[in-house]
Chains A and B, each alone.
Chain A
Amino acid sequence: MSALPQPKPQIKLVQSAISRRNFFDRMTDGLYGVALTSLMSQQSLIAAEKQHHAARIPEDLTPKRPHFPPRAKAVIHLCMQGGPSQVDLFDPKPALKKFHGKTAPRELTQNAVFENDRTGKLMQSPFQFKRHGKSGAWVSDAMPHIAEEVDQLTIIRSMYNVHPNHEPAIYKMQSGQTFPGHPVFGSWITYGLGNENQNLPAYVVLADPSNRLPVNNVDNWMSGYLSPLYQGTRMRATGSPLLNLAPDYSESEQVTLTKQQLLKQLDRLHQKQRPGQQDLEARIRNYEMAANMQLEATQTLDISQETEQTLSMYGIDEKETDSFGRRCLLARRLVEQGVRFVQLYTRGQIWDNHRNIKGSLTTACQQTDLPIAGLLKDLRQRGLLDSTLVLWGGEFGRLPTAQIASDSKMQVAGRDHGPYGFSAWMAGGGVKQGLVYGNTDEVGYASVENRVSIQDWHATILHLLGMNHEKLVYERNGLGERLTHQFPTRVVQDIIA
């Protein structure tokens, strides 16, 4: 159990008394001021003294060196919670035509949790599939724009999750366990790598502005037993971009400035009478940083300088795509500014297409297809795609069978949750371009070839970021916790370029 290799000087810094100059040097090279106290005092000393346990990762947001050279520096996670239907998007199953209206062969549905999952009647996809790009990967006509970008993607058709209900399955996707309390993978990543930009949060969440949050709500970006530093910070395009960033009251600019100045003067006086107290210096810096963040976060979220062309690429100002398009554009702007992990959520569970797959899946695609394709294009044009890992997928997929209310017809049928096999894709950040990996069975019920579990997916993401999932450890109550827990895990080397 070893943690990330840490630059030695920091420990040394702890043991020797820190000179003022030294201190400021550290400050200016981007130390957050965050948990400075812990860097300098007991915590690190304990860490330095302890021979038996590997050195802890300092709990702050300074950039950390990964275990080995990374392929990606930042991650954009397009969280498609609800369960996008693989057999209607990326995983065509001609056999469904053959079996349409018939019960799935028993041997394919052996492991279904619910009896209902076995008895439903198979349903062919109402969408048309075509090969796209040089790679010739299949994509349905529900996603015409992403189809154009297919040569950028590695489509994994063999994902699987362990639970057929949203709640546990989403917990699993985020944290590797089916219940809350464990850090989500965005938290692990920022814990391991810190942030490039000290004036912006390391882990930014962009969720629906009208507040229709995903299942499990804010638990989706909780840092569990890791420091709240690594929690997802929700940013908004309108109003205060993040919690408490703007005053909850009105105040003139001059008053604000006067108050800031007064505070600084008082704090300096206070500090002068208490030489050698490191906490106090950290605190003064902390207030300055709060002011910087106020400025920089506001600037980053201001898209008024973007060109007309860029805006239209994301579908901004178009009714269907405006909302998600803005989030996609913000994601690019945040990554550009050095934010490590950006997570996008859709409005509610748009992929949870229990009814009328034709209609409801089309709507979900219309809201997201163009903006996501725009994001990929934009990242590529700006040379950011190489260093940015883009993830697309839900907590599970859907069953190939029809789900129909007893009084309606097959035409308006939807599909029920399908954790046994589903599709997800990755792009940029060191993954192969134009690859289709793994397979589900004949009808798309379960993943059978090159199966990728949630922890495999996590480990692969960490790997692309230069981290070994077995070494990214947090010591807690005598246990070495990690994102992949104690599950058997493999890094999916086959999809890495």
Chain B
Amino acid sequence: MQSFSISLRLNPEKNHALDIDDPYLVIIDVVPTFGLFSVTSKSPSLIDIPQSSFLNDEKHSAMVVSRRRIFCLLLNCLMVLLGRPLLVSSAETPAKSSQPSSIVYEDDIQPIFQTHCVKCHSKKKRKAEFDLTTTANLLKGGESGPGLVAGKPDESLLFEYLHDGQMPPEGSKPLSQQELEKVRRWILTGLKFKQSPQVIATNALSQHDIQPILYRRCVMCHGPEYQEGGLDVRTKASMLIGGKTGTSIMAGKPDESLLIKYIVEKTCPPKAEISRAGIEPTTTEELATLKKWIRQGLPVEKVEPKNFSNDQDPLVSKSDRQFWSFQPPQQTTPPKVAQTELVKNSIDAFLLRKLETQKLSYAPEADRRTLIRRATFALTGLPPTPEEVHAFLNDDSEDAYETLIDRLLESPRYAEKWGRFWLDLAGYADSEGKRSADLIRKYAYRYRDYVIQSFGEDKPYDVFLTEQLAGDELVDYTNPKNAIPEVIEKLVATGFLRMAPDGTSANPVNRVSDRMEVISDELDVLYRGVLGLTINCARCHSHKYDPIPQRDYYRAMAIFKGAYDEYDWMTPQPFSNQWKRARSRFLTLIPEQEQQELERHNAPIEKQIAEVKTKLKNKDLPKKEKKSLDKQLKKLTASLKSPTLIRALWDRGRPSPTYIYRRGDETQPTRLVQPGTPSAIADGISPYHIKPVQQTNSKTGRRLAFARWLTQPDHPLTSRVIVNRIWHKHFGNGIVKSLDNFGALGTPPSHPELLDWLAVDFVKQGWQFKKLHRLIMTSQAYRQSSSITGLHQKMDPGNQLISRMPLRRLEAEELRDSLIFTAGELDETPFGKPVDVNVRPDGLVTSKRTDKGWRRSVYVRHRRKEMPTFLEVFDLPQMNPNCTTRKNSTVVSQPLLLVNNQLVYQLANQFAQQVRARAGNDLQKQIVAAYQIAFQRDPLPAEKEIALASLQRLNQNQSTSPLLASKPGQPSTQKQISKSPHDGLSDYCHVLLNSAEFLYID
């Protein structure tokens, strides 16, 4: 015979001020008194609430719930009390009294689990740490905690998985409707068993039940940064010491403990601070848990960090770890091929081998003009000049092509082009995103400059990664002696981890859950971008396809906790109505010389300011004079120079403990985890090992350890993922097509040996990008023509075998920069503050012109809500959070823009002037010059003919026909129109800029 205690309460999940979904949902808890079905980690407290009190509490809510439903609920309570079949009605499911009610586990449910689930959830396999073979373990649940909530299918994780079709996994037979309904009713009717399961009732609480509550509600003021009233609640010891008014907790005496008193009296958390600090009041359940823990005498449980890498790990097995991409890349030998004359380097051997098995070979080598155009665009993002092409065509030396590649790699334009590649991956933007205000990130550009500089100096990838992940742990920047560029650079590098869209610079959206979004985006960028793993799903549940258990997600979070702590948050931007204790993310660290210059500039101004201020103190000042002084003060203040700050991420040496959050919900913490790397990646490499960093301020060293782990030469993913990305950029196909996913759902590599060879070689050559480019671009594969034959189309339609080079559309920046370059209008000033944009009322966003022309697109401001229209139309994405593969669309807004946009029209005019400067007024010569500038070749006879006819007609039209009255919709940009008249040649040039040859490279 079982007995039950019943409680009626408001839906606890929905009790928070801002979340008012279903606020009136009344829930009945049916809790067997042996504590078996403890609903969630925090609900056992319900049992403590005397019945009378909760009934009183609920009086009000009962009034707004329909009478029928309340009646129904009460009826159910009654039935429960009488030990009748449990018919519990949740708000969504009306009670069906006619249903046959006795569903018993052993008869009805066990066979279903046996058929569908036990294969993976057995005692031996224990997928997701869930074993269904004993009833005790069934009720205990898996790594996300108990999966069954008596009476509540909707809250039972197990049912949710079955219902959503998440389980059994795809490929297995799903449950039938009848089976699903049976499980639902079994849960709904209170989880009946023939034999009561043997469960050790764990009613005792530990510090892990109360710590998360204190972190959520109290630590903002009583924690690492502030100890209001001298109190720090982070540990039992510090709570016992208490604050100025004595100890805050007294074992066994909850009602006398100050901690409880303050909460009950609603002194804490202080009302005025609540929304500003991003916290919410302590809930009734939380209070009850705190009280219970104190009543139980403050029990503490010692948790040993688990070692996950042994073979007993139920979540990640040996065979999981043997998945190809989790094994270190193998040293492979280039195979022998028949067409040895085509082998320029090892890449060709691997590719040709596969082609030859298909009885295919490379496409013929492209002509030299095609090659120089292809290579110049690939490495600089701009076309070559006619002179460069001419020189290359006439270079008879054997290594003319190699020399060309070397020259291009040394160009500063290379760094701008390939820096952009990494900025895409990092999700670089000049604004915060997430909110409509989309505040501008004033100093984000320093990270952009860091990336471009790093590519320019060909910083090894392992160093590049380490600086971005743990620059702050590499250098002791707090020591003022270290304010030198080398140190500053390392701090700017950590901006990589500050790129995610971040809406936490406002009060209503600076809650813990909002912060979790930011952390989640950062982890996504890092793991997907650098490791080629999709781990986002593991925030709520273990990965469905890859051996990434939920705990791995939280272990990853713990790595970043020293800097990214949802309970110790730093505000991205100052904002109005901000919590007075909010802390900034900026570091001020400037070299001494710069500091002196600043002071030299500011000192006289500050003196003047002081003088004006003294004058203003005089209260009898005439109004007029006061006004003029105020004005003067404003002007002076504005002329003060302020130091350039660093948007950085730094460890503060005091991370909060990391718990796994059930379903990603921070109000449902389950197990404590330690920082760690994915358990599946362990073979053949050194484990993640933390060494605390001793600097002026001590640091956890967690991120530095992660960077070291990540950049081991034998790491199975780091080198493979990056060489694959670079390969993809050159050939339009990755060796692994799914660039972001090297897991089970990714595509297997088309040339596994080649991938490994490239990865190993890349590391051996010192992780240097320029060497990798040179290797790829000097292969015969890269020199192929892009023409398609019928055979190629048939045998290798997707060009997976690299049997030709792809014809490719220019990327957004390449197109815009080329148009400007062709018009002779490119301002090549590097680095610094981004170029501002104009936003026209109809939504057109354009960059501003400098006095030298137009700067390269990478230097234009990328504010998420004001993306430059030109770039956006050609697929530059809004970074949410990043972009690892540019789309390559052909949409109608593109021709509309290229034809109708004023900038392009105006550039055509300037292009025409370049033509005229070379060719004078001779039409024939003009045509040749135009082709040389735009395409670096002479026109074909047919093209010449067409051009001549059109030019004549255009020139004629210009002089005779009246202008259409199609004025632009908005006259505001009229002044941008170039002064020189638009003539037939300009129109002709406008067409060339619009032509396919301009947009596509062979």
Contact = CB atoms under 8 A, between A and B. Distances in A.
A216 B745 contact: no
B568 to A, nearest CB: 22
A88 to B, nearest CB: 22
Interface of chain B: mostly helix, strand, loop or mixed: loop
Interface stretch (B100-108, B192-200, B734-742): B734-742
Interface stretch (B251-259, B459-467, B825-833, B954-962): B954-962
Contacts of A179: 434-435, 503, 509
B953 A258 contact: yes
B807 A42 contact: no
B284 interface: no
A298 to B, nearest CB: 10
B82 interface: no
A313 interface: no
B17 interface: yes
A236 interface: yes
Interface stretch (A262-270, A360-368, A375-383, A461-469): A262-270
A41 interface: yes
A225 B958 CA distance: 45
Nearest to B961: A252
A1 B528 CA distance: 22
A450 to B, nearest CB: 10
Contacts of A420: 20, 23
A459 to B, nearest CB: 14
B121 to A, nearest CB: 21
B788 A276 contact: yes
Contacts of B165: 1
Interface string B948-972: 0010011001100111111111100
B284 to A, nearest CB: 14
Contacts of A255: 954, 957-958, 961, 987
A133 B381 CA distance: 67
Contacts of B969: 236, 238-240, 246
B954 A446 contact: no
B134 interface: no
Contacts of A165: 508
Contacts, number: 286
A207 to B, nearest CB: 10
B20 A251 contact: no
Interface in B634-680: none
A477 B524 contact: yes
A1 B545 CA distance: 14
A52 to B, nearest CB: 6
Given A33-B890, A249-B905, A250-B964, A181 B950 contact: no
B433 interface: yes
Given A219-B865, A251-B964, A277-B807, A269 B892 contact: no
A35 B302 CA distance: 58
Contacts of B844: 243-244
Interface in B64-102: 64-66, 92
Interface in A23-50: 32-38, 41-42, 45-46, 49-50
B965 A250 contact: yes
Contact of B961 (A236, A240, A254): A254
Contact of A446 (B60, B64, B747, B905): B64
Contacts of A113: 17-18, 20
Contacts of A478: 534, 536-537, 741, 745
A181 B59 CA distance: 41
Nearest to B165: A1
A320 interface: no
A47 to B, nearest CB: 12
Contact of A449 (B63, B66, B865): B66
B69 to A, nearest CB: 10
A110 B957 CA distance: 75
Given A249-B905, A290-B895, A106 B60 contact: yes
A21 interface: no
Interface stretch (A89-97, A281-289, A334-342): A281-289
A282 B434 contact: no
B956 to A, nearest CB: 9
B475 interface: no
Interface in B498-540: 501, 503, 508-509, 524, 528, 534, 536-537
Q: Which of A244, A258, A490 has the most CB of B within 10 A?
A: A244
Interface in A216-261: 216-219, 224-225, 227-229, 234, 236, 238-240, 243-255, 258-259, 261
A55 interface: no
Contacts of B897: 244
B893 interface: yes
A448 interface: yes
A243 B869 contact: yes
Given A248-B902, A248-B973, A293 B892 contact: yes
Contact of A52 (B545, B843, B970): B545
A168 interface: yes
A227 B18 contact: no
B733 interface: yes
Contact of B890 (A168, A266, A286, A294): A286
Contact of A258 (B66, B745, B950): B950
Contact of A219 (B436, B545, B891, B965): B436
B889 A38 contact: yes
B842 A234 contact: yes
Interface string A413-436: 000000110000000000000000
A247 B966 contact: yes
B994 A263 contact: yes
A279 B888 CA distance: 10
B283 to A, nearest CB: 14
B998 to A, nearest CB: 10
A477 B18 contact: no
A189 to B, nearest CB: 19
A441 interface: yes
Contact of B22 (A33, A53, A451): A451
Contact of B991 (A244, A259, A274): A259
A180 B433 contact: yes
A362 B807 CA distance: 61
A496 interface: no
A262 B788 contact: no
A244 B798 contact: no
B59 to A, nearest CB: 8
Nearest to A220: B436
A271 interface: yes
Given A162-B19, A244-B901, A270-B995, A262 B988 contact: yes
A9 interface: no
Contacts of A240: 842, 968-969
Contacts of A225: 880
Nearest to B434: A179
Nearest to B745: A52
Contacts of B433: 180-181
A162 B740 contact: no
A225 B521 CA distance: 14
Interface in B850-880: 865, 869, 872-873, 880
Given A244-B896, A420-B23, 4 more contacts: A228-B872, A245-B900, A249-B902, A255-B957
Interface of A: 1, 15, 17, 32-38, 41-42, 45-46, 49-50, 52-53, 106-108, 110-111, 113, 160, 162-163, 165, 167-168, 171, 178-181, 211, 215-219, 224-225, 227-229, 234, 236, 238-240, 243-255, 258-259, 261-263, 265-267, 269-271, 274-277, 279-280, 282-284, 286-287, 289-290, 293-294, 419-420, 441, 446, 448-449, 451, 453, 477-479, 487-488, 490
18 contacts: A38-B889, A108-B64, A111-B24, A113-B17, A113-B20, A219-B436, A225-B880, A248-B902, A248-B973, A253-B964, A254-B961, A258-B950, A258-B987, A259-B954, A262-B947, A267-B996, A275-B787, A290-B899
Smallest CB-CB A-B distances: 10 pairs: A239-B969, A478-B534, A276-B788, A107-B60, A248-B902, A240-B969, A290-B895, A252-B961, A111-B23, A244-B896
